[in-house]
Amino acid sequence: AQAAATDTFDAIVIGAGMSGLYQLIRLRELGLRTRVLEAGTGVGGTWYWNRYPGCRFDSESYSYGYSFDPDLLKEWNWTEHFAPQPETERYLNLVADKYDLRRDIAFGARVTAATWDDADGSWTVEMEDGSRHRARFLVTAIGVLSTPTMPTFPGIEDFRGQSFHTGRWPKQAVDFAGKRVAVIGTGASGVQTIQEVAKTAAQLTVFQRTPNWCAPLHNGKISAEEMAEIRTRYDEIFRRCQETISCFLHTPDPRNTFDVGAEEREAFLETLYAGRGFGIWVGNFKDMLTNRAANDEVSRFVAKKIRERVKDPRIAEMLIPKNHGFGTRRVPLETRYYEVYNQPNVTLVDSKAAPIERITPTGLRTTEAEYAFDIIVYATGFDALRGAFDRIEFRGRDGVTLKEKWQDGATSLVGMMQDGFPNLFTLLGPHTALGNIPRSIEFNVDWVTDLLRHMQRHGLARAEATPGAVARWMDHVMETARGQLALEVDSWMTGVNINVAGRQQRIVARYMGTAPAYRAWATGIAERGYDGVALR
Ligand code: NA7
């Protein structure tokens, strides 16, 4: 139930997804009276909202779960190498139950504003229903891809069939059997949705603006014996995740693409293509994402695979990206995605050549044709990284909002603190390390917790990043982006979203260094007694 108006807590956490849940556990250890404010009716965040068919992560399950509690590792069984959304949602509900987290979470509680009161040294958080809460510390656990964006074309409201955004999928299962279905968008969410919908829909029409380079997931069931074996290796698995560049089990091969002969190179790429998970993206030759010729080699290889898998050469060409190289955008992992286009019930439409003009009551119209649909699925993505922050009006020490402060691009100290915004901790804020995200979440939560513990020990009430430390960190962020081919491509990773005003320019939207480098920077701050953080 919603807490009464103007309740005062020691700490408020916004969001009860993976980071909010873990942050709550840690804040309790500090003895802080904490309230978690969650807009949804259940825990899970990403795994609560994204219920679309086929939704799953592309991290190996056993590298994705929390690592902090040996007991939890003993108790929980993953049933697939890449668990589907319902399993992960169940897992996060088990975590909420096991640690009795729900008593400190308000559900259906959407935060609209948060204002720092400098005299009082606390945050006042305003809710959609007009109630307010106060706390000395405010932690955002609002996610990276949590603000869905709809296309801007007219008529969306007029559609008389059913329509859904993948990131706001209803709890009741949607039945596609016998239906004429449109899927708009072919990012990671679209690709997963298309694979599933194609199984039962009478007709599936896919509207693709930009093809993405997809690669096989190679999922599989985990037997009880296999799970028992995995369990004995948890230490090793999590150690590995600490060493790799983006906390996956995969990490770049130490060789450059042209260090090896053509035959050996081809064999290596074949191995990666046959392997599980992100190997072909994250475990490829180390120059694959910085050297254009190297990148061309991998693109050529994957294009060949697409041509082999798609029977109609014209469709195969439509599915092969022409304007960006392999891995310079997020690589959707797939299970028989390309084969879907061999099915008689599936049609691929190039919506760059023939843009969608409007949604009509009965379907949609492109510049070339009119289509009738029973169901329209918007797999059109999110206002990534920034969107969740822009939806809340954070007002800092000088009365400036975070949105205003970030007008020319988000800044931070290690993505987690902002100058001018005391006692605000932004887990997974702009320019934190992403990748296999639970590993980053555990690190970031522990970092914030350690800082709060340090403050408790020294009787300190305020922490704020210094402008100098922010500037040094941002220089480092820009430095890590140098020479990366991904920066030449529009995607959520470069901050571009065609559906959101002010998101048309490519920027360094995410941290592009390695996760170990990120952690070293953040740990260095702590080890130097919070150098760069003004404490009083
Ligand atoms: P993405 O990767 O941002 O994909 C969105 C897709 O929707 C992409 O294919 C877009 O085409 C397409 N799109 C967006 N707006 C339109 C309009 N107006 N018309 C036609 N097509 C449109 O989002 P996802 O949800 O798939 O994945 C996000 C991340 O979540 C993913 O990387 C995972 O890590 C988890 P475009 O490419 O812009 O031409």
Q: How far is the CA of 364 from the centre of ligand 1 (A)?
A: 18
Q: How far is the CA of 86 from the centre of ligand 1 (A)?
A: 22
Provide, rounded to the nearest whole percent, the portion of the chain with pLDDT above 90. Answer: 99
Which DSSP helix (H) or strand (E) runs through 360?
strand 356-360
Q: How far is the CA of 85 from the centre of ligand 1 (A)?
A: 19
Task: Give the pair of three-digit tokens for residue 275.
Answer: 């392997």
Which tens digits make up the pLDDT trace of 62-104? Answer: 999 999 999 999 999 999 999 999 999 999 999 999 999 999 9
> pTM of the prediction?
0.97
Q: pLDDT grade, residue 6 (50/70/90)? A: confident
Q: pLDDT grade, residue 115 (50/70/90)? A: very high
* CA–CA distance, 355 with 231 (Å, rounded to integer): 50
Nearest CA to ligand 1 atom 14: 380
Query: What is the pairing mode between strands 180-184 and 162-165?
Result: unpaired
List, in sequence order, every beta strand (DSSP E) within 43-131.
105-106, 111-117, 122-127
Atom from ligand 1 closest to the CA of residue 497: 38
Contact 246, 515 (CB under 8 A): yes
Say which residues have a Cβ less than 8 Å from residue 80's Cβ, sequence separation at least 6: 56, 61, 87, 219, 220, 221, 222
- Does 291 have pLDDT greater than 80? yes
49 C-beta closer than 6 A to ligand 1: no
Alpha-carbon distance values, 296 to 255, 258, 261, 291, 341 (Å): 16, 12, 16, 9, 25
Mean pLDDT, residues 238-261 taken together: 98
Which tens digits make up the pLDDT trace of 13-54? Answer: 999 999 999 999 999 999 999 999 999 999 999 999 999 999
Q: How far is the CA of 469 from the centre of ligand 1 (A)?
A: 34
ipTM value, please give it: 0.99
**339: nearest Cα among 309, 315, 316, 302:** 309
Q: How far is the CA of 473 from the centre of ligand 1 (A)?
A: 30
Atom from ligand 1 closest to the CA of residue 145: 30
Nearest CA to ligand 1 atom 10: 185
493 C-beta closer than 6 A to ligand 1: no
- Does 1 have pLDDT greater than 60? no
Which tens digits make up the pLDDT trace of 206-227? Answer: 999 999 999 999 999 999 999 9
